[in-house]
Structure 1
């Protein structure tokens, strides 16, 4: 059989990897029945016909199914990587070779290449932007104001990206609608908690092959990602310590059975450190100085700024690769600190990211958020919008149905009761 010629521009590592990527994409699809149903509907209704779409996402097997669904809906789409170490090169190759989707992503691409890909994406003059971390949106606002008129809206599914959008809104530069996919119940309750929890530990284990049982594991941040990481680490036998700045989250961590203390104290007792805060320099020079010899440090927040690697490098007398995605920094005091995945998302740098079953719901939210923007073009005010409750519930219903789980429904008497204020005890 003669291979279909590649018509689209692309920048991937090696198109010969496509058969391997195709097989892995198909495997992931077994666990993504909700997005499959949405794709089938999109193929019939074509909600994105004639629209240009840019997706800046982690290029994984799960993202492949989102891209395929959007194309089925008629979108003229370009996919770029949202993180230099998160691309699965075989998946990128398959999307180009098997699905005619234009992909600009290579695992390990440098920052200059990453930013060039952002510019290539914006050259597409998108009507819709799917962003992970809001780099494309920020670049659009800072450098390409004239293109904002083309934009129907954007979607964002990371905590870091939502924080940036909120800052844009405060500064008065967010002049178009942005859908907050991150805070949908069927996203953060499951993706952030169960997805990040499992995949973060998967990345740590793949990079180091260490036994987590008996180790003291410090989780910086007790949002949904931190909760999931702490829960899964405890399940594997780690002694978990949580650091926080929010007193309510700190109390929650205490009542969930975890020790809570400042990073200045945790630094001296931790064997493994995981940052999931979305903030800058959560682990910095004074913490490195206090750590045990051989302490392992990694990040599962979106950007690589949570760990102050610049100050660590300045204190190091030697930096060497000791395993794949594992670097040892030998310090002037004779101790060493081990950094995983160059401080980038360890679950994607050293592993395969979230399991497809949980990304099924997250990407269902992304697909339906894009459709919501199109259906409500001109009616949504500039600013940040939540996923409609009915969309959230429908995704949950479809997921339960696919899992073979049934739930109760209200009786007419119960409906009457909860809608009445006259009935009492």
Structure 2
């Protein structure tokens, strides 16, 4: 997409709100903004060397609710009149938007009601409730909860706060790039996760107001290329279980797609394995926990190196809310992917002493045994033979090769049984 520096007619901004409102949001003029952290934007030397860039990370996972969503929620709340605040606000969300809106509504003395799908994990429900919001569990998914919330807003007069397709929300999200450019004024490009498009729209408009030649690259999960479909008139499949659930949006916003079409330079997609690798790199090299969407920027820099090589790049770690069991699984899968962990299947004669032969060989190769499982019944081997599945830890892929070579050197038939 070709992009020019943003221009406005009169005092109306690209968001459709006044330039005065944009300035008030961008400058964080209201004291209520003191409750939102100016999160660090730090150079990542190890990842820079790995990606061939000069990479800076914006740690939005360090917000109070561990997500950038607080920014847009507060911007919307501050735009309301006293009469509108008295009516209260309502939203549909099972994640970061719910907590961001709940927190800042409570701080401003505004009643908030959040509709969540019935299948929302109880921990998310309780965390949002603890921030002061009333919770209504409705529908089997976000779309159903959103329709129910809109119906109630129509009946009660409560103000609906959309998670992304709202001018104040999108503008509020753009305060992220204001802080990034204050910290690193000569950024060449910023890479931004895109779900519904609020963060990307705000980043593109506000970023190019400050630095007109700033390039903005959006990134979507390959399973949810909804913004690409909307802008390029394609019909790529959209759906499935993605690690980046925060950007798993099937229908992007109308306002956000208009802004992104004009101000975002490029949109790329990343595969699930690339998201997993990026999440693990952030945890292992930066010692920071990102949710899948928060790792999308780094995944894009690694997957599309030609767009970023040799440039000063900013990547937004947009959130850090991820289930700890999922993190554990991703980390273990990453070890397997790099052959630091493997499950080996070994054919044995079903006689005493065979396990000692296996363990002695692995010990000689300095491997570490994690677990062992026999399969005497469920196999197609002759009755006097059996399978042994053994999980082994190595320092790297070459070390794993040495372990396997040692096992084979004593006459054992060894194969991988990872899948």
TM-score calculated relative to the size of structure 2: 0.30
Q: Which has the larger radius of gyration?
A: 2
